[in-house]
Amino acid sequence: MGGVGLPELIVLLVVIVVVVASIWLSVKILKKAGYSPWWAVTMLVPLVNIIFVYVFAFSKWPALASAGSAITCPYCSASIPAQALKCQHCGEWITRQNAGEITPAG
């Protein structure tokens, strides 16, 4: 007896799916945060991945640093990125007559 049976193959398949999914999600998150997607490779290394997630959680993300401050939509009062042209919550177009001032689109 012994060897590789169907249960082992199913477990192996599940592990592969979970690993691929976590790498794929890591790449998406890293891109959003402004980091190189290659950092997702660290997810394959035990212990290193835990350290990386810890460092990632408390580091300043490049994407957020370049995004600047948030402004308040004059239509729905939601917080939106300062450089947004259109409110992501209510869909209204945002125009600026000068820096820091928000006026409704004509």
Contact residues for Zn ion, defined by CB under 5 A: 73, 75-76, 78, 87, 89-90
* Closer residue to Zn ion in complex, CB, 58/97: 97
CB 90, min distance to Zn ion, A = 3
**What pairing do the DSSP bridges indicate for beta strands 79-81 and 70-72?**
antiparallel
* Closer residue to Zn ion in complex, CB, 10/76: 76
Residue 45: is it exposed, middle or buried by C-beta count within 10 angstroms (0-12/13-18/19+)? Answer: exposed
Question: Can you say how many angstroms the Cα of residue 60 is from the centroid of all Cα atoms in its chain?
Answer: 13
* Closer residue to Zn ion in complex, CB, 8/92: 92
